[in-house]
């Protein structure tokens, strides 16, 4: 019934109790999980998991803070991985100016390179944007990312900008903050935007929803996010979940069944 479109089962924090994490999610009705890479190693791991489990799909990509010493080699490997059958997206890619491990120029180069790869392989993008709303938008627009669209991961921008993203064929990833008392921004987006453009994600092991903030997040908690989304939209949980299923299918296309 539920889909977690952004989960880091490839992160050491979740690998330790892997079977338990998976089983807990299946038990509450999570049907599909998209494991998202953030560097070359975790992208490989995402593909391995997708090959191993029917209900797992992979996204591969280099997160803006992880690209420091990457050369053509890493990008060639990324392209090989992205061409595998169960790889449904390029991600997570984008900008992150909260940390300073990489410069703005390095991040821009890596981002554009991966937008071009997504267009070449006709794969949607999963976009990470932290402290960079305007530049993320401008970069996606300038490089015609609307040709592939994708998901704005854990969308934290305004309703106005959300509408601009919809025009560029992006959907909005709704995550744990929608359950937070101070999560007004994300709540407003869910209320204002048609359910046809919303998807659910946990970003586990991060962004744990209420009432479990402070604990390690797991894909089972996607249920809490869909519950809150349904409440905000004034529809049933099953109706919200069905919308999300349709949206995910539309975004990921042929490589996702």
> Which range touches Ni ion (CB under 5 A), out of 75-83, 165-173, 195-203, 219-227?
195-203
**Between 155 and 230, whose beta carbon lies closer to Ni ion?**
155
Q: In the complex, what is the shortest distance from the CB of residue 154 to Ni ion, in angstroms, rounded to a whole number?
A: 7
- Full strand arrangement of the beta sheet holding 125-130: 2-7, 30-36, 56-60, 87-96, 125-130, 150-152, 170-174, 198-200
**Between 8 and 187, whose beta carbon lies closer to Ni ion?**
8
> Which range touches Ni ion (CB under 5 A), out of 68-76, 108-116, 188-196, 198-206?
198-206
Q: In the complex, what is the shortest distance from the CB of residue 239 to Ni ion, in angstroms, rounded to a whole number?
A: 27
Q: In the complex, what is the shortest distance from the CB of residue 128 to Ni ion, in angstroms, rounded to a whole number?
A: 6
Q: Binding to Ni ion by residue 203, rule CB under 5 A?
A: yes
Q: In the complex, what is the shortest distance from the CB of residue 236 to Ni ion, in angstroms, rounded to a whole number?
A: 28
Q: How many residues belong to the site for Ni ion (CB under 5 A)?
A: 1
**Between 186 and 230, whose beta carbon lies closer to Ni ion?**
186
Q: In the complex, what is the shortest distance from the CB of residue 7 to Ni ion, in angstroms, rounded to a whole number?
A: 8
**Between 30 and 230, whose beta carbon lies closer to Ni ion?**
30
Residues that bind Ni ion (CB under 5 A): 203
């Amino acid at each position: 019934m539920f889909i977690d479109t952004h989960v880091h089962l490839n992160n050491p924090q979740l690998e330790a109790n892997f079977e338990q994490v998976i089983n807990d999610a299946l038990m509450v009705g999570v049907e599909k999980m998209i494991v998202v890479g953030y560097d070359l190693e975790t992208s490989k791991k995402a593909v391995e998991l997708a090959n191993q489990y029917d209900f797992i799909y992979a996204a591969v990509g280099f997160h803006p803070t992880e690209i420091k010493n990457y050369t053509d080699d890493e990008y060639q490997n990324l392209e090989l991985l992205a061409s595998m059958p169960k790889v449904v997206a390029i991600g997570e890619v984008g900008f992150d100016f909260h940390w300073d491990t990489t410069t703005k120029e390095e991040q821009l180069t890596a981002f554009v390179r991966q937008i071009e790869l997504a267009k070449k392989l006709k794969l949607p993008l999963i976009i990470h944007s932290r402290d960079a709303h305007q530049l993320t938008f401008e970069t996606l627009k300038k490089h015609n990312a609307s040709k592939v669209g994708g998901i704005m991961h854990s969308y934290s921008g305004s309703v106005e900008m959300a509408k601009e993203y919809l025009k560029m064929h992006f959907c909005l990833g709704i995550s744990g903050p929608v359950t937070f008392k101070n999560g007004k921004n994300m709540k407003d987006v869910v209320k204002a935007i048609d359910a046809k453009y919303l998807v659910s994600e946990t970003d586990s092991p991060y962004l744990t929803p209420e009432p479990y903030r402070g604990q390690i997040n797991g894909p089972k908690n996607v249920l809490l996010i869909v519950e809150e989304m349904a409440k905000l939209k004034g529809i049933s949980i099953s109706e919200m979940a069905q919308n999300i299923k349709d949206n995910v299918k539309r975004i990921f296309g042929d490589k996702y069944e």
